[in-house]
Amino acid sequence: MSAGEAKEYLARREIPQLFESLLNGLMCYKPDDPVEYLESCLQKVKELGGSEKVKWDTFVSPEKKTLPPLNGGQSRRSFFRNVMPDNSNFPYRRYDRLPPIQQFSIESDTDLSETAELIEEYDVFDPARPRPKIILVIGGPGSGKGTQSLKIAERYGFNYISVGELLRKKIHSTSSNRKWSLIAKIITTGELAPQETTITEIKQRLMQIPDEEGIVIDGFPRDVAQAISFEDQICTPDLVVFLACSSQRLKERLLKRAEQQGRPDDNLKATQRRLMNFKQNAIPLVKYFQEKGLIITFDADRDEEEVFFDISLAVDNKLFANKEAAAGPNELDCSLIMDSGDTVYTEFDLEDQEEDQSSFSGYETTGDFSEDLRKSDIIFVVGGPGSGKGSQCKQLAKKYGFTYLSAGDLLQNELSSLSERSKLIKDIMECGEPVPGGIVLELLKEAMVSKLGDTKGFLINGYPRELKEAEEFESKFGEPKLVFCLDCSAETMNSRLLMRNQSSQHSDNAETIKEAIESYFQASKPVIAYYERKTQLCKVDAEGTQEDVFLEVCKTIDSFLQKEEAAFSFSTETQ
């Protein structure tokens, strides 16, 4: 059984929920004969009509139903990680990962379907020992993260981890490995290394230093998705140090470092790209940690000793409240702590000169049109391969004057352009790796900006593919006005794709089609749930004819446009 088949089966049959319910019953009653008790519970499951009818408290008596679920609100992954027994071959490991799903290709809007590797599940720190204090040091390239991280580690006797150096050493030691050669190219162009790979490397490094009192991690996370993954897979940091530095100072330091060290990722194009990525990701990342009360900001334009003096005061106050500061006054300057969320953003110019927006691939800059895009009517159309997304989008674009964009088509067009970026995309796809979300988002932005002022809105097909992309799009360009989900069974999609193969040049076999459909269901669940919570999701039964589906979608769009027009009329009347 493939990884996709296993996961699809478990999810479809509600197996995790069933196990959770059975374990809750066992912990509630603690029966002398657990096997007999479980047999009676499974008999009740049959009587109820199957595992999908089971809830967490099905086997808990009414008087004890005030108890919370056994997993305490954790994700199912965390729940199983905590209850499964240790593997004798790995002290803190809970279970082996499934093998990665292989790359597949079916149609233009699924050529880019991500097949991200599954992060190995194990406890990084020995639960029987106190966890070391974790300090994350973040900031723009050239803000002095490495210098300050080393000073913090030396002062407090903590271990120091440079994520950038960790990746560079791995690349150097595995130069013949195709995957790491590809990651080297990604880093050299100024893009972020794949999140799953980076987290895995950090976890493995942490496993090698389990007895430290504290650990300083330099250069991670770079965006909110990485921050969430770090907390989910490793732990919540004790402190996040943010080094705020002006764009001009960052550029000066990077050029100087390039002359002195000759790092491959300090070339001009990569530097420009890294600065742009930093500007785009810094605000939501700082806000994320600020809401958790974990971050302290420091003006890094000053002399490094002045900056470190302030950092040491903050660390003493935050992590060693009962310990007398080793140097300087004991009182922390509270003006350095970000309370409003606005202070840090004045430290670097988010609307830099036009040449800063030049990208690594040589394509023309589109400038910053984020606010214009936020005001646009953007509609996402998601659905599995064979659900009819492309056909519906083309009809809708023609009827309403929208611009139709397919993420897959944009990638294919870029590949045919023979640009530097197209070479990178080609290498990534040939390795079976997912195309980085930043590249796909940049292509979408360029396409949308080119049509601003000449369209009534945008219909985007095949995006977002996963929750991280949805959140990244929202943070930069705002929420889509509508999200259509063309709901279609696996059987219907499979039969449509097989028929398409017979009548076209497509040569996908039955197994490839099956894997594609399974991968879609796996990746789309969190995306659909995300938009359901935001009440933007419109599920459309796509089992019917193309005409029936089209009419159903049109009803929703007509209603949305009428509400928009009414709101506009009301606002003009009240002015």
Supply the pLDDT for residue 116. Answer: 38
Instruction: Report yes or no: 196 and 116 within 8 Å, Cβ to Cβ.
Output: yes
Residues 384 and 296 in one domain: no
With cut-offs at 50, 70 and 90, classify the pLDDT of residue 4: low
Q: Tell me the mean pLDDT in the region 152-180.
A: 85
Phi, psi dihedrals of residue 492, rounded to the nearest 5°:
-65, -45
Q: What mean pLDDT value characterizes the chain? A: 75
Supply the pLDDT for residue 2. Answer: 63
Looking up residue 156, the CATH number of its domain turns out to be: 3.40.50.300
Burial letters for 275-297: b for 16+ Cβ neighbours within 10 Å, e otherwise? bbbbbbbbbbbbbbbbeeebbbb
Residues 349 and 258 in one domain: yes
Give the end of a domain, one of 335, 357, 379: 357
Instruction: Report yes or no: 485 and 537 within 8 Å, Cβ to Cβ.
Output: yes
Give the end of a domain, one of 300, 332, 357: 357
Q: 568: domain range?
A: 370-574
184 domain-assigned: yes
Residues 374 and 343 in one domain: no
The three-point CA angle 538-540-544 to 5° equals 170
The helix (run of H) or strand (run of E) holding residue 276 is helix 268-291
CA torsion through residues 274, 103, 446, 358, sign: positive
Residue 318 has pLDDT above 50, yes or no: yes
434 domain-assigned: yes
Residues 278 and 402 in one domain: no
Residues 520 and 462 in one domain: yes
Q: Tell me the mean pLDDT in the region 439-446.
A: 87
Give the end of a domain, one of 329, 357, 385: 357
Residue 366 has pLDDT above 70, yes or no: no
Residues 337 and 433 in one domain: no
546 domain-assigned: yes
Separation of alpha carbons 119 and 117, rounded Å: 6
Residues 176 and 307 in one domain: yes
Residues 283 and 410 in one domain: no
107 domain-assigned: no
105 domain-assigned: no
Q: Which of 12-21, 131-140, 173-182, 232-241 has the lowest mean pLDDT?
A: 173-182
114 domain-assigned: no
Residues 36 and 179 in one domain: no
What's the domain count of the chain? 3
Supply the pLDDT for residue 399. Answer: 92
190-214 tens-digit pLDDT: 677 788 888 889 998 888 886 789 9
Return the higher-pLDDT residue of 31 and 96: 31
Q: Most confidently modeled of 213-227, 268-282, 435-449?
A: 213-227
Supply the pLDDT for residue 404. Answer: 93
Residues 157 and 297 in one domain: yes
Separation of alpha carbons 517 and 8, rounded Å: 10
Q: Which of 52-56, 296-300, 374-378 has the lowest mean pLDDT?
A: 52-56
Residue 333 has pLDDT above 70, yes or no: no
92 domain-assigned: no
Residues 569 and 481 in one domain: yes
Look up the pTM and report it. Answer: 0.43
213-235 tens-digit pLDDT: 999 999 899 888 889 889 988 99
98 domain-assigned: no
Q: Which of 294-303, 366-375, 435-444 has the lowest mean pLDDT?
A: 366-375
Separation of alpha carbons 249 and 139, rounded Å: 13
Q: Which of 79-93, 112-126, 308-322, 455-469 has the lowest mean pLDDT?
A: 79-93
Residues 411 and 286 in one domain: no
